[in-house]
């Protein structure tokens, strides 16, 4: 405060406010470049491996195409000409599944997040526990005692509607929005391995194993907590004046949501969509359980390239991995400016 | 009709999400619990269920699968005793401090569960690793979570801090650093198998030169574990990076510049202004990362198939192998043990680290 700025400047002087000294800059750029190399080199190796012959891979490391080895397109040809049926089927499966799962998850999840941020709920815990109890009993009677699932579901629904109010009046223990939100987000802790076996059996019972629907629904549910968490914070950060005036004009909740809230939250939606998209595009364990041939996704196809008698076909595998990366990277570059902005809201508010 | 819709719209908005989670997440959770207490045999046209009580869990903790899940125990070495007793003393001191200062039953029971988990892990560590015995899948999973998260946090935060400075090519760095997160874990597994190949991989000349030409990563337990942590970090540092970058950029520049005007050095302004601001976010980010890290399954499956022996097998992978051997009861029991460990550790972390900061704030 009391010091005066001196007009003299020399190279030994501390840099101006907000600037960095030369030494700091050098250290910074060195670090960043080293990390860039660490990130990019494996990807570079992946790309050149996809153009190598078996001999080029097996006879030791060759680094530069046209200098060390002659690139060939044989792996690409094999995957897209010889085995094109398998590849394209897995590819389209992956596209359909991840797009639909993302769409479903983002739609339902953001509806729930919006409702949680705007409407006050106070459900009774006892009623909910009763519902879960009925659900479990239904499952047990179908799974263990072999009751027809339509019958069991009908009986359960009927029982719920007749007894819900009576059971709920036994004891009042009200949950609030915070509890519901925490409950939904906490579902993310669940490791897929805990729930995948019952899910497998459920889809087996209704004969949906190895179909798109089974995987789409499962992915949508698994990723829903992320959507709700990110979008809840995002909706909370949107000013409510517009919605309130729309409601005064007689707009319904669904109208307000579609016409006003969704357009305003494009950033958050983009970031969330990208994240969920990446997660469902790359998911392996659930797909391994729920698909065999018809609904096989790309990660399964890649993993299956290990199984042949010829050992691992590194070149084909590289092609498959590259083909898998391209759409996500393209999407990420398109949505690049939204990623940090969209995630920021969720992360900073925590 | 319209009126009814309007009146119940709030519920209808929430209903699909809640229903889906109830049916595809809570119901399987309950079913899995039932299966954990049963033996399930597949027969023609269905399966038979026989309840066996705690036997599936007993087998994991005390029976034939003990070495697999928690490790081999012989005698606890001196080092093990020293470590175990000192950590036990520290934990007891901590809970005594809590009881003395502000006691509520709810908080006390919660901390008792944390304490039990802490003691269990401490003595697991003292009895296996520090006594020169092999440890099981829980130890391996904790290794992945703790070491992996620590590495990812340090490097991710450092990179984010560097990128939050006023530098050129920020956007390019940001895009490049984000790429590994978008590659499927299966792909990452195979890429790192290529990288680590000591005879045909890109670094084989370096290995030859160091004299490790015949060394195989996948055959040495610790090398294999570290190798998986490196691959996992390569993939997930981008996540920490992008979140922490957002956090650093949300620190107001006026504040740090004002501090520097007042004569604070860069280190001081970082420690006094930037760090306290990003710390709560960092805790949340690490919580998310730890939750995901407990689920690790694809990388060990692809890179080592859990080998050599069971050295790199995670708990999830063990449950998957049990399922493949059609031992559904054990698979569910193992999965539930994982769930329990994850929930206790993550909730303790959330309660004692994330919320403690929130509570301290006025």
Residue A327 sits in a domain whose CATH number is 1.10.3720.10
User: Of A2-16, A274-288, A296-310, B273-287, which gets the smallest average pLDDT?
Assistant: A2-16
Helix intervals (H) in chain A? 22-49, 54-58, 74-77, 84-118, 125-143, 149-170, 177-186, 192-205, 212-237, 241-248, 253-256, 262-264, 266-282, 285-290, 298-304, 314-334, 336-349
Which tokens belong to B108? 């006390």
Residue-wise pLDDT tens digits, B333-352: 999 999 999 999 988 888 88
| CATH fold for the domain made of B134-360 | MetI-like fold (1.10.3720)
The confidence score (pLDDT) of residue A335 equals: 79
Phi/psi at B46 (5° precision): 155, -155
Shared domain check, A251 and A105: yes
Q: What's residue B359's pLDDT? A: 63
Structure confidence by residue, pLDDT tens digits, B125-150: 888 888 877 888 999 999 999 999 99
Q: What is the pLDDT of residues A244-275, one digit of tens each?
A: 888 888 778 888 888 888 888 888 888 888 88
Same domain, A28 and A93: no
**CB neighbours (10 Å) of residue B97?**
9
Residue A49 lies in a domain: yes
Give the pair of three-digit tokens for residue B320. Answer: 């998957």
Over residues A64-84, mean pLDDT? 79
What number is the ipTM of this complex? 0.87
pLDDT band at residue A342 under the 50/70/90 scheme: low
Question: How far A19 CA sits from the closest chain B CA (Å)?
Answer: 8
DSSP string covering B86-118: HHHHHHHHHHHHHHHH---HHHHHHHHHHHHHH
Identify whether A321 is part of a domain.
yes
Query: Is the domain of A281 the same as that of A325?
Result: yes
Does residue A1 carry a pLDDT above 50? no
**pLDDT at A95 > cutoff 70:** yes
- How far, in Å, CA of A17 to CA of B260, rounded? 7
Residue of B nearest to A305 (CA): B190
From residue A162, alpha-carbon distances to A159, A232, A241, B193 in Å are 5, 34, 42, 59
Q: Is residue A256 part of a domain?
A: yes
**Contact map slice: B 128-167 vs A, CB within 8 A:** 155, 158-159, 162-163, 165-167
Task: Using the structure block, give the residue that is written with the tokens 């599944």.
Answer: A97
User: Rounded mean pLDDT of chain A?
Assistant: 82
What would the DSSP string read from start to end of B172-201?
Answer: HHHHHHHGGGGS-HHHHHHHHHHHH-TTTS
8 A C-beta contact, residue B335 and residue A191: yes
Instruction: Indicate the residue among A76, A92, A113 that finishes a domain.
Output: A76
Residue A1, C-beta contacts closer than 8 angstroms, at least 6 positions apart? B262
- Of A117, A335, A111, A115, the closest CA to residue A227 belongs to A111
Q: Is the pLDDT of residue A282 over 60?
A: yes
> Chain A closest CA to B221's CA: distance in Å?
22
CB A271 within 8 A of CB A338: yes
Q: How many CB pairs under 8 A join A and B?
A: 288
**At B42, is the secondary structure helix, strand, or coil?**
strand
Across chain B, where does the E strand assignment appear? Answer: 38-43, 46-51
* Together in a domain, A213 and A295: yes
**Contact criterion met (CB < 8 Å) for B162 and A254:** no
Domain of A113, in residue numbers: 83-122+207-349
- The residue among A80 and A309 whose pLDDT is bigger is A80
3-state secondary structure A267-308: HHHHHHHHHHHHHHHHCCHHHHHHCCCCCCCHHHHHHHCCCC
Nearest CA in chain B to A56: B200
Q: How far is it, in rounded angstroms, from Cα A290 to Cα A215?
A: 7
Residue whose C-alpha is closest to residue B274's, from B140, B148, B164, B130: B164
User: Residue A75 pLDDT more than 50?
Assistant: yes
Structural domain includes residue A170 = no
Which single residue is written with the structure tokens 């050992």?
A311
Q: Give the closest residue to B61 by CA, choosing from B167, B137, B2.
A: B137
Indicate if A93 and A28 belong to the same structural domain.
no
Does residue A60 share a domain with residue A110? no
A11 within domain boundaries: no
CB of A47 closer than 8 Å to CB of B197: no
Residue A10 has a pLDDT of 46
pLDDT reading at A345 higher than 70: no
Residue A93 included in any domain? yes
pLDDT in tens, A114-142: 998 888 888 888 888 888 788 778 877 87
Is the pLDDT at A3 greater than 70, yes or no?
A: no
Q: Are strands B46-51 and B38-43 parallel, antiparallel or unpaired?
A: antiparallel
Q: Do B184 and A20 touch (CB under 8 A)?
A: no
Least-confidence region, from A2-11, A36-45, A290-299, B240-249: A2-11
pLDDT band at A18 (very low <50, low <70, confident <90, very high): low
- Whether A68 and A217 map to the same domain: the answer is no
Tokens 């792996």: give the residue. Answer: A75
A20, B165: Cβ pair inside 8 Å?
A: yes
């Amino acid at each position: 405060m009391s010091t005066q700025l001196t007009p003299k400047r020399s190279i030994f002087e501390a840099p101006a406010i907000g600037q960095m000294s030369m030494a700091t800059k050098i250290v910074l750029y060195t670090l960043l470049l080293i990390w860039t190399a660490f990130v990019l080199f494996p990807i570079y190796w992946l790309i050149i491996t996809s153009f190598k012959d078996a001999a080029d891979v097996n006879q030791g490391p060759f680094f530069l195409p046209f200098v060390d080895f002659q690139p060939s397109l044989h792996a690409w040809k094999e995957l897209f000409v010889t085995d094109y049926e398998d590849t394209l089927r897995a590819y389209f499966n992956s596209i359909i599944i991840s797009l639909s799962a993302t769409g479903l998850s983002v739609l339902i999840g953001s509806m729930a997040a919006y409702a949680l941020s705007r409407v006050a709920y106070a459900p009774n815990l006892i009623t909910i526990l009763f519902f879960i109890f009925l659900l479990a009993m239904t499952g047990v009677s179908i799974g263990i005692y072999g009751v027809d699932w339509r019958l069991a579901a009908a009986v359960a629904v009927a029982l719920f509607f007749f007894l819900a109010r009576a059971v709920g009046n036994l004891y009042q223990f009200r949950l609030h929005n915070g509890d519901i939100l925490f409950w939904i987000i906490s579902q993310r802790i669940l490791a897929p391995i805990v729930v995948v076996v019952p899910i497998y059996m459920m889809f087996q019972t209704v004969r949906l194993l190895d179909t798109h629907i089974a995987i789409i629904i499962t992915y949508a549910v698994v990723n829903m907590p992320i959507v709700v968490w990110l979008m809840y914070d995002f909706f909370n950060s949107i000013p409510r004046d517009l919605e309130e005036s729309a409601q005064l004009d007689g707009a319904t909740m669904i109208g307000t949501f579609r016409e006003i809230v969704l357009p305003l939250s494009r950033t958050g939606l983009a970031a969330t969509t990208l994240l969920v998209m990446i997660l469902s595009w790359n998911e392996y364990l659930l797909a391994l359980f729920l698909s065999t041939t018809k609904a096989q996704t790309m990660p399964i196809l890649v993993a299956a390239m290990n199984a042949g008698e010829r050992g691992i076909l590194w070149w084909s595998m590289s092609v498959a991995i590259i083909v898998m990366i391209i759409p996500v990277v393209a999407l990420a570059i398109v949505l690049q400016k939204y990623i940090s902005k969209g995630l920021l809201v969720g992360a900073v508010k925590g | 009709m319209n009126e009814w819709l309007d009146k119940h719209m709030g519920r209808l908005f929430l209903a699909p999400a809640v229903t889906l989670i109830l049916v595809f997440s809570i119901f399987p959770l309950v079913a899995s619990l039932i299966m954990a207490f049963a033996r399930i045999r597949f027969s023609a046209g269905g399966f038979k269920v026989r309840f066996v009580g705690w036997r599936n869990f007993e087998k994991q903790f005390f029976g034939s699968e003990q070495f697999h899940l928690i490790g081999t125990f012989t005698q606890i070495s001196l080092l093990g005793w020293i470590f175990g007793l000192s950590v036990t003393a520290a934990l007891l001191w901590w809970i005594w401090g809590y009881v003395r200062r502000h006691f509520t039953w709810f908080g006390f029971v919660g901390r008792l569960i944390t304490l039990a988990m802490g003691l269990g892990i401490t003595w697991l560590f003292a009895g296996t690793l520090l006594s020169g015995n092999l440890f099981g899948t829980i130890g391996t999973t904790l290794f992945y979570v703790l070491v992996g998260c620590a590495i990812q946090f340090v490097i991710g935060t450092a990179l984010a801090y560097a990128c939050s400075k006023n530098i050129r090519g920020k956007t390019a760095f940001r895009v490049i650093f984000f790429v590994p997160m978008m590659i499927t874990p299966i792909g990452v597994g195979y890429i790192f198998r290529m990288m680590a190949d000591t005879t045909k991989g890109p670094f084989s000349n370096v290995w030859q030169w160091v004299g490790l030409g015949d060394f195989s990563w996948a055959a040495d337990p610790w090398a294999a574990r570290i190798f998986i942590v490196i691959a996992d970090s390569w993939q997930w540092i981008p996540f920490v990076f992008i979140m922490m970058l957002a956090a650093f950029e949300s620190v107001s520049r006026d504040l740090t510049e004002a501090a520097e005007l007042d004569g604070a050095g860069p280190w001081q302004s970082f420690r006094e202004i930037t760090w306290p601001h990003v710390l709560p976010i960092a805790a949340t980010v690490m919580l998310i990362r730890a939750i995901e890290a407990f689920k690790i399954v694809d990388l060990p499956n692809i890179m080592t198939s859990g080998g050599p022996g069971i050295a790199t097998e995670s708990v999830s992978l063990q449950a998957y192998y049990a399922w493949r051997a059609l031992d559904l009861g054990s698979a569910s029991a193992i999965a539930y043990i994982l769930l329990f460990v994850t929930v206790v550790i993550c909730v303790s972390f959330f309660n004692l680290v994330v919320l403690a900061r929130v509570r301290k704030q006025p």
